[in-house]
Structure 1
Amino acid sequence: MEERGAQTEEAEERAMPTRRAVLQAAIGTASIFTALSVLYVGAGLIPRVTKTPENAPPQVGDILVYATGDKINQSVQVTDLPEGGPFLLAFPMDPKTKVVRNKELKNTLLILKQAPSSYDPQVAAHVSEGVVCYSAICTHLGCTVSLWEASQKLLRCPCHGALYDPRLDKVVGGPAPQPLAQLPIRIEGSQIVVAGEFLGPIGAQV
């Protein structure tokens, strides 16, 4: 009897590591499933952006319309832009459907007119009749560039003072890490028309 009891104790001792391993594996598996469940639920809480014509990026052939003021959603005419500034804020609009792409902040554009000879050659390649178009979203933290420094003909972001020179496509002051992205345009009649995709990244780059 004593010998049989000893054998039983030995068998139980040998089984303990196996049981422990099985238990640990079960706990580990449960933890994985719990983590996956949390991730799945969390992913379900992230709002999904539905693509619509209103939030699509500027398309070749879109015309530029006023983003603010009494003429909001009306076509910007070349004659509306005084040479030397200031600039106007605009959105692209599908000329066929009349859908204004104003449901996406990154579609906010700024347009201004300077003497054609004042532009850097790289910028001038996508300028039409002295009119240039840029993203209006600051590359620092994504604020809208909305101030005009008339004495220096510079664009200023009101949030942290980033300064951009639209003639050189260059940051000349403040914390912005990159210049504003230029959008190629052409003039058709008196309307300003999108002629290509943005030539750089849009919005905050930090």
Structure 2
Amino acid sequence: MEALLRWQHPELGWISPAEFIPIAEENGQIISIGEWVLKTASLQSKNWQKKGLTPANISVNVSVRQFQQGTILTLVKEALEEAELDPRLLEIEVTESIMQDTKESTEIICGLRRLGVRISINDFGTGYSSLNVIKQLPIDTIKLDKTFIEDMASADQQAMVRTIVNLGNDLHLNVVAEGIETEYQLIKLIEARCEYGQGYLFSKAVRAERIEELLNEKTT
């Protein structure tokens, strides 16, 4: 699962993350928002376990600003301790843009890995990471950016997707295709040996109560 932030304004209704996240990034509020999301997701995961539901990994996005703040390691440790959550059930999802400062980012990612959490690279293929860096980082998952999936009718695009999937498989990484919306995209991704996917074809974002129902079905 991936923890996604949604805002239902009392007067304006649903506001897209594409609108409010960039503003939060710019004015620094993403720091406090990110802390709340991380701790809430960790507590929710533990709460499901207490109800006897099958433990499921939750992926939480971390912003560039949180990395730059220099407190992300402390924050993740606090979230795990407060929730008494097994670190293996938490995945920290970072964007390729953090690799602008390779040395500092590598140190932080290695520190997160020592805490026992899983690491994924979001929007893979659109940012700053090099193949050499990806090979050296202690990551578990690369998430193929949805821009690669949108034009799967193109033979060139299919070839590019196959290349990235093969790279991930050869490096023993999980490869997740983002933004799957059609059966055709799904078929082509399966042909490319991509084992994991997310997108509206499967489900839009749902509330925690619906996830609990799904976990109940899985447990029983």
Band of TM-score, shorter chain: under 0.3
Q: Which has the higher contact order (CA 8 A, sep 6+)?
A: 1
**TM-score after normalising by structure 1:** 0.25
**TM-score after normalising by structure 2:** 0.24
